[in-house]
A and B are shown apart, each in its own frame.
Chain A
């Protein structure tokens, strides 16, 4: 048999060889391992043209990508943006991740590594395009210099430079070395979007092939020579600590090498294999002091949120007119209360990181949404100076916001620090992952709408009560105590601006935080805000005897792009014509992450509680669409995430801990539940900041389905998931 050590020793080599032949994103692989392997696998090092572009003598174009790829397609989209201005041969494009350590050494030349908030492309498109344009100018100048002609007489297309008057030609690969010695130009001019040939086109992803071969290396797959494997148990209650543990109970088990405390609250078993570590961990007696939250239950948390619904004090996120006066003077009011639960991200790949520590150097391999945050966490946890630390990003098996947090990186470093010279891979079990998440914040809402005697909507008060993510994660970003992010889709004009005109409006938030750690969960607060607002808008439409689309059209007169996506989905679903017998429709619209989004759903309901979602038409207007095919896939995929939550998912708290341990109690949709999703990508252009893609559209699927369910059954569901009410998929 393969001796374990031989196998591990082989692995470093195999890892590199295994990634070298498959192209696309696999240039990434070459960046990951130790310097010696990278050198062996990379042909003679080629100097970069500039920070964003490396061109090899064989004309291969390596585009540097600062953001993380976790399935959302940013890697391909960012490469398209650079390639567009570079005017290179797209078929020769490959990518690599610069390391966060390199970014620090080069004074953040690649700027932000953070990959969240649907900002990967929208926050960096300008400077990455400038990087591509600057590289093109340098390559053309280098060719012109070689020919002794003015650069203005030369043009570049498809990686070929042509001197117009003489017809001479050369390729990027031939002049790249000379170009690398030129100064990087500043103030480059970008193309007019109407001239784009790569951006805006549904080009194929760069990273598909290794994923169908099983060759893509994720963090959990990493193997290094001499590596040990760690399984961890953190205190099941947030805020608790380890009192003691009895290592002797498991140290004799096969493969077990070490039992170590990690920080104040966790214990790891380190073994030859992860299965051995996990098995021993299950047998390890650990005494936790569960701390002050050990008795908290969901009922306690709910009670605090209910109190907040009518509390006197609340942060005002959006207001105009005098909503309270309008409501007290209304001819008629409508009122409803909604509640949205904690949710786990449940990425398919559980949290993990690998670290190798010596007093001279710390190296960390992390599937992270934010390489710089991982780097900062690794520096802090190791106590080493920043110039002795680096982080190598590895492909993520899903992110959805979870992997912007660095708890697993800190743990891996704290373990490695106790085992100098030995690489250790820390992998969470699914159960650890389910119970130590960064949960979608829990929130309730009370909504009151008022009509005058003529049935006009005169006032709306939307009171949120629940958890703030920023208060826990980035308290410095609170604005006089208020968490502006709570108001996604409900906020003052901006990337999450409220999409209706109501004469008297008040949207406020009674912040009620819990010991359950909150996090950014794909779509973040737009998820529940869209349900609260868009279901209630339907309630108001019905109360005033108006059609759901017509009611919204009237309220969006001053919000043309909101109205644009609404009308697009209404037209496509055929709203003006009756649905087929037994089919019921619902709509919703919102602005989130800079994009305007809407959905129209068609469902049928059997027996009053079994829903078949036949079709969802979705529209998104992000302004500019870098890769329409990828956008369509993101929309359809996000509906699986959002509708899984709507139908099945909630995390509940008992004795201070999260009760759900695995996919049997926190289920996710199967293919049989999947509706047909038709996406309308509206690239309306203009000078507004670009909108995001990965998150915005998720929020409108759930309210569109809920509004259709009401039409089908007359039942208005206001607490989630639907399974709590015995409602499921047909």
Chain B
């Protein structure tokens, strides 16, 4: 049994310690907002926060995150109030197919914690998620919009 703190709640899961966090989240905790895209930390669709920092959950064994604070896309909103990044995503109509967007939003929220008013160069350096629909123009616009919010 491995103890996990996900979106502020405690969970105990029975998983092989080498199981990637991604699959524990999706298959054992039932949080499917975090997506599988590549399994090798290339695409970022599986991005979650570990103690507030963005990590690629497909490449982190669950045993390594026991007792640490994990936040997924489902834990970002405060009740019915969207996180400002989610609101900016909605306002700027960022998603197309939407599959990569959970990971994109988690990467951006972590970036904004470090750099509340990121420049375009900060965004270029900090966001390396793949989006095959190609929403980057809206992503950039929405990041600046979110940064402009209090």
Interface residues of chain A, those whose CB is within 8 Å of chain B, are: 1-2, 4, 7, 10-11, 14, 70-73, 204-205, 207-218, 220-221, 223, 229, 254, 273-275, 279, 346-350, 395-400, 427, 429-430, 629, 633, 636-641, 662-664, 668-672, 674, 676-677
Contacts and interface: CB of A to CB of B under 8 A. Distances in A.
Contact of B23 (A7, A73, A275): A275
A638 B138 CA distance: 13
A279 B18 CA distance: 11
A636 B45 CA distance: 21
Q: Which 3 A-B pairs have the closest CB atoms?
A: A214-B33, A640-B134, A71-B97
Nearest to A663: B42
Contact of B133 (A71, A212, A218, A395): A71
Residue in A220, A396, A639 with the greatest tally of chain B CB atoms within 10 Å: A220
B45 A664 contact: no
A348 B82 contact: no
A71 B32 CA distance: 19
Contact of A215 (B14, B33, B42): B33
| Contact-residue size bin, chain B (C-beta under 8 Å from the other chain) | 35 or more
B96 A275 contact: no
Nearest to B1: A1
B90 A208 contact: yes
Nearest to B100: A348
14 contacts: A1-B13, A7-B30, A208-B90, A208-B95, A209-B90, A211-B98, A213-B33, A348-B132, A430-B36, A633-B137, A663-B42, A668-B132, A672-B127, A674-B136
Contact of B96 (A7, A73, A220, A662): A73
Contacts of B19: 275
A42 B15 CA distance: 37
B102 A229 contact: no
B86 interface: yes
B40 A664 contact: yes
Nearest to B42: A663
Interface in B87-131: 89-90, 93-102, 105, 123-125, 127-131
Contacts of A1: 1, 11-14, 28
Contacts of A220: 32, 35-36
A398 B28 contact: no
A670 B29 CA distance: 30
Given A212-B89, A396-B97, A4 B28 contact: yes
Nearest to A205: B93
Contact of B27 (A229, A346, A396, A639): A229
A348 B32 contact: no
Nearest to B101: A211
Contacts of A218: 35, 99
B16 interface: yes
A669 B124 CA distance: 11
Contacts of B133: 71, 348, 398, 637, 640-641
Contacts of A668: 43, 130-132
Interface of B: 1, 11-14, 16, 19-20, 23, 26-40, 42-43, 45, 72-74, 76-77, 82, 86, 89-90, 93-102, 105, 123-125, 127-140
Nearest to B89: A212
A670 B127 contact: yes
Contact of A662 (B28, B40, B134): B40
B2 to A, nearest CB: 9
A714 B40 CA distance: 39
B38 A663 contact: yes
Contacts of B72: 214
B14 A400 contact: no
A208 B135 CA distance: 13
B12 A397 contact: no
Contacts of B135: 633, 637
Nearest to A214: B33
B23 A670 contact: no
Contact of A637 (B11, B129, B134): B134
A213 B12 contact: no
A229 B95 CA distance: 28
Contact of B42 (A208, A633, A662): A662
Nearest to B12: A1
Contact of A274 (B12, B23, B130, B134): B23
Given A213-B74, A215-B74, A637-B133, 4 more contacts: A349-B37, A349-B97, A670-B130, A674-B136
B17 to A, nearest CB: 12
B132 to A, nearest CB: 5
A350 B125 contact: no
Contacts of A7: 28, 30
B36 A636 contact: no
Nearest to B102: A214
Residue in B16, B23, B27, B34 with the greatest tally of chain A CB atoms within 10 Å: B27
Nearest to B134: A640
A629 B91 CA distance: 13
Contacts of B43: 348, 663, 668
Nearest to A10: B30
A348 B1 contact: no
B97 A2 contact: no
Residue in A72, A217, A220, A348 with the greatest tally of chain B CB atoms within 10 Å: A348
Contacts of A629: 93
Contacts of A349: 35, 37, 97, 99
A664 B1 contact: no
A71 B130 contact: no
Contacts of B90: 208-209, 212
Contacts of A664: 40, 42
Contact of A671 (B26, B40, B45, B136): B136
B93 A633 contact: yes
Contacts of A639: 134
A446 B105 CA distance: 46
Contact of A254 (B16, B30, B37): B16
A274 B25 CA distance: 12
B131 A640 contact: yes
Contacts of A677: 137
B89 A669 contact: no
A636 B123 CA distance: 18
A215 B32 CA distance: 8
Contact of A672 (B102, B125, B132): B125
Given A1-B12, A221-B32, A212 B136 contact: no
Residue in B36, B76, B98, B128 with the greatest tally of chain A CB atoms within 10 Å: B98
Contacts of A279: 16
Contacts of A221: 26, 32
B134 A430 contact: no
Nearest to A202: B93
A454 to B, nearest CB: 45
Contact of A348 (B28, B34, B77, B97): B97
Nearest to A204: B93
A215 B73 CA distance: 9
A348 B35 CA distance: 9
B38 A70 contact: no
A211 B95 contact: yes
Residue in B30, B123, B136, B139 with the greatest tally of chain A CB atoms within 10 Å: B136
Nearest to A400: B132
A429 B27 contact: no
Nearest to A209: B90
A274 B27 contact: yes
A108 B42 CA distance: 43
A165 B88 CA distance: 47
A275 B20 contact: yes
